[in-house]
Structure 1
Amino acid sequence: MIVAGQRLPILIATKPVDFRCGPQALALMVQTELKLDPHSGVTVVFRSKRGDRLKILVWDGTGMVMIYKVLEQGSFAWPKVQDGVMRVSRAQAEALFEGLDWRRTVARRVQAPTAAG
């Protein structure tokens, strides 16, 4: 699950995957093709060939969680298809999940204050 304050990266696997794959097969893809540890808590978003479906895979500490969404109209705004992954902010990932154009969402990084006040 994408949780407020979560510091682990959210990644989009830019190359479409076979959507018949379940969580184990997607975790294997994360490990072998993306060279990442699927049990590290990293969130990986997968796209379908048509672009109207997504799957989100994340290890929550007790098991692999897979979220599957199909847009009823239109398609998701995806980055250019290429090998590898693209890191996005939590706000961008949530916009993507809602079917919005996440590329228009700009994350602002704020320095933590040195003292409470």
Structure 2
Amino acid sequence: MFNLNKVNTVYLACGITDLRKSIDGLVVIVQTQLKLDPFEKALFVFCNRQMNRSKILHFDEGFWLYYFRLENSKLKWPMTPDEALNQSHALEGFNYCEQLYEIEKELREQYMGSDGYYADRHIIRLKKSAPILKKFQEYVDNEIVSALPKSPLDKALAYAQKLLPYMRTFLTNGCLEIDNNAAERAIKPFVIGRKNWMFSNTSKGASSSALLYSIIETAKANGLATEKYLVYLFEVLANSEAKERDMLEKCVPWSKNIPDQLRIKTTK
């Protein structure tokens, strides 16, 4: 019997296969029709026309061929890759995530710009997103039990199960985003360039650069012209004798006291 711990993936040969073929014939199908490497750590599964018999091809120091037959039932076998995708358990999990993001899209389109945007988003998330997240949690807990060990699905489920408790955080406050994509996009420019910046070669340099990056990206997120804002910030701080909290709060990028000439004008 094959060792599932040595198997990373299971491939289905969609459609009908002539099971009279031996190992060599099935290897040819894997190479020519599936366009896959028959020597990889995988199971290649084939089905006959009556859908009651199947052969499994596997390589482990040599080719192994397994055969099984159903006496009183039939396999639910996909005839096309699209049909296989529709029957995929992974697609079910993907659909839960897609539903959550569809709700976020509707919230942006209907409520963004309104005074109560974050409050409305919080209420609607609790009503619509929370039940979906609960179903997704149940899906992950059920599927991970039967998922092929070390397969891509098993790894994805384990990753999701580990992080799901933290994912519920966005339901606690309408000001929170569902993901950190905005932060990822914000740090991309200096992540690409940091290898060329010698002052980041020490912990002090890294701390200094992180401080500047935070200021710059926060300014950009608040619609400010970065260079103009930095000049303004340095001038204000240099000419202020006392660095009191009230004074500093007037200089932060989201402050209403920021001069209009520092803001990037947008055209509708």
TM bucket, shorter chain = 0.5 to 0.7
Structure 2 unaligned segments of length 5 or more: list them.
Answer: 90-141, 145-156, 163-268
- Match runs of 1:45-64 below 5 Å: 45-60=45-60, 62-64=61-63
Change (3 A) 1:20 1:6: same
Aligned length: 95
What whole-Å deviation, never above 9, does each CA across 1:28-66 have from its counterpart, x for those lacking one? 110011000101122111010110000000101x21011
- Match runs of 1:1-117 below 5 Å: 1-60=1-60, 62-79=61-78, 81-82=79-80, 86=84, 107-108=143-144, 109-111=157-159
Asked if the contact 1:46–1:55 (Cα under 8 Å) also holds between the matched residues in 2, the reply is yes
Secondary structure of 1:16's partner?
A: coil
Runs of 4+ in structure 1 off by over 3 angstroms are: 4-7, 83-89
Aligned partner letter, 1:55:
K
Q: Which moved more, 1:69-78 or 1:23-32?
A: 69-78
Aligned partner letter, 1:110:
A
Q: How far apart are the structure 1 equivalents of 2:66 and 2:59?
A: 12
Q: How far apart are the structure 1 equivalents of 2:39 and 2:30?
A: 10
Change (3 A) 1:85 1:40: farther
Alpha-carbon RMSD across the aligned residues, in angstroms, is 2.8
Q: How far apart are the structure 2 equivalents of 1:46 and 1:77?
A: 12
Q: How much has 1:86 moved relative to structure 2?
A: 5.0
Query: Which structure: greater helix fraction?
Result: 2
Match of 1:93 in 2: none
Secondary structure of 1:110's partner?
A: helix
What whole-Å deviation, never above 9, does each CA across 1:42-98 have from its counterpart, x for those lacking one? 2111010110000000101x210110111111211222x126995878xxxxxxxxx
**How high is the TM-score relative to the length of structure 2?**
0.32
Structure 1 unaligned segments of length 5 or more: list them.
Answer: 90-105
The higher relative CO (CA closer than 8 Å, separation ≥ 6) is in 1
Larger radius of gyration: 2
**How high is the TM-score relative to the length of structure 1?**
0.68
Aligned partner letter, 2:65:
M
Asked if the contact 1:34–1:85 (Cα under 8 Å) also holds between the matched residues in 2, the reply is no
